[in-house]
Chain A
């Protein structure tokens, strides 16, 4: 057997390894936090010229003109918000009801594969959604869905005007499909987490399962469901490629949902590599900063709500 002195030297070497290991662990976490901070800082730094030049005007003027170096993001903000709003209304209703079915009504042999398929929908790359939206959904909107809505609801200005196929409405539909899995999966988790006794008390009072779900379970889960919907909203706001392919890419504000529009993310995707001039690039980076800030706030808000329900974090 080795000598005590020799042994103690080995223990000291082991202790040194442990210190190096702990250092690596702390360094990794530090690097992670640093990267997130740097992400924010570099966007602010990059958009500084534009921030100084335009100030708050950037947010509420409508001209986006690289030739005259005038940049206002209002039409983009409008397009982003409206397309996301359409998506969140559709995906919110469908997603929450689907979640109720998966968590409450469906037997296990049906709920599991169905949940899996819906999760697979989330895995479809956005460029594939865009391709499908452009070549399948947009023609369908132009030839049948749009005309039908116009015939029945045409008296509303939002369904008036020419139908191009691509536009806010089509983008909203594609986005709705893309965020449906997020809303469904998280709502389902929230509904499943709602205490069993609450629902059993209601069933004991003679309510049907549907009545229990509609009047007890869903209201009790409302904070978490709201969080799930806001999380979906965050995803819709920042979606780029699919939107770019189906929204029409025209920075205008129109009353009709069938009109082409533009979003913050789409404009960055289309113009960034061709942008020349300091102010132009900076204005594009400011769009990115805007997207970052909005999605940070929206996602942060949603997560904080979900933490209280799902007890994570």
Chain B
């Protein structure tokens, strides 16, 4: 399966933590303006794969990567593109909301915008990002308040706004609802569907219902006997959930997997 237009492609990607190989030979495309879900049991390497895409994997001591990640055809592991440029083009949202504790709500959203731009422009960008993250109405009267005063669900939307303010092309989400209550989860899922109209989303989830509800494409990963995670298959979400081609995917989908 090859998507018509894929701004982000992965080719023969392997990632290591020191001597331990975490994922091997992963190759897949992330289709433009759609949601690709990465599924699999814990330890299958889906988060590691996600963290290789914006090169945040490599900040851990001993971590390294082989293979290619192509952003608009350019390999991000070749020296041409700086890590900073890459991370501004590929935003990331983490499992646990991680607003910067010492910054205000506004400060958090502004933190990724270069300080050089005029104040008015920066503020407009922040407002736009907060609106995109469906948070503006809730916080517009307390922009200078500490971000820690928000609820967890609001904090997560603040983190999404913070990532959007940088104006990325791709948004990576690592179990974005993993630490949220059902109502907050629902609002984040709604938001993801809206964002997919403008951004390419890659979402790690171990919640199959979530993957089925929101994603356009789904990839299933599994760790082998050797503990190394590999891509089992990837397809349109409807196909994965109704007619998977691999036996192991079917086992996982139907809950027969341990």
Contact = CB atoms under 8 A, between A and B. Distances in A.
A12 B81 CA distance: 10
Nearest to A15: B82
Contacts of A8: 82, 85
Interface string B100-127: 0000000000000010100000000000
Interface string A1-26: 00000011011101100000000000
B183 interface: no
Contacts of A12: 82
Contacts of A14: 82, 84
13 contacts: A7-B85, A8-B82, A8-B85, A10-B114, A10-B116, A11-B82, A11-B84, A11-B85, A12-B82, A14-B82, A14-B84, A15-B82, A15-B84
B112 to A, nearest CB: 13
**Contact count band on B:** under 10
Nearest to A11: B82
Interface in A179-210: none
Interface string B73-103: 0000000001011000000000000000000
Contacts, number: 13
A15 B114 CA distance: 14
Given A7-B85, A11-B84, A15-B84, 6 more contacts: A8-B85, A10-B114, A10-B116, A11-B82, A11-B85, A14-B82
Contacts of B82: 8, 11-12, 14-15
Contacts of A10: 114, 116
A7 B82 CA distance: 11
Interface of B: 82, 84-85, 114, 116
Contacts of B85: 7-8, 11
Contacts of B114: 10
| Majority SS at the chain B contact face | loop
Interface in A4-59: 7-8, 10-12, 14-15
| Majority SS at the chain A contact face | helix
Contacts of B116: 10
A36 B84 CA distance: 37
A22 to B, nearest CB: 13
B140 to A, nearest CB: 26
A9 to B, nearest CB: 11
Nearest to B86: A11
Contacts of B84: 11, 14-15
A11 B80 CA distance: 11
Nearest to B116: A10
A289 B86 CA distance: 55
Nearest to B114: A10
A7 B116 CA distance: 12
A11 B89 CA distance: 13
Interface string A213-233: 000000000000000000000
A64 B77 CA distance: 70
Nearest to A12: B82
Nearest to A10: B114
A19 to B, nearest CB: 12
A12 B84 CA distance: 10
A1 to B, nearest CB: 8
A8 B82 CA distance: 8
A246 B235 CA distance: 84
Interface in A74-113: none
B58 to A, nearest CB: 15
A14 B114 CA distance: 11
Contacts of A7: 85
A163 to B, nearest CB: 61
Nearest to B80: A8
A10 B82 CA distance: 11
A6 to B, nearest CB: 11
A273 B82 CA distance: 59
A15 B82 CA distance: 8
A10 to B, nearest CB: 7
A279 B129 CA distance: 75
A11 B85 CA distance: 7
Contacts of A11: 82, 84-85
B202 to A, nearest CB: 23
B65 to A, nearest CB: 20
A7 B167 CA distance: 14
A131 B198 CA distance: 75
Nearest to A14: B84
B116 to A, nearest CB: 8
A14 B112 CA distance: 13
A7 B114 CA distance: 11
Contacts of A15: 82, 84
A119 B84 CA distance: 47
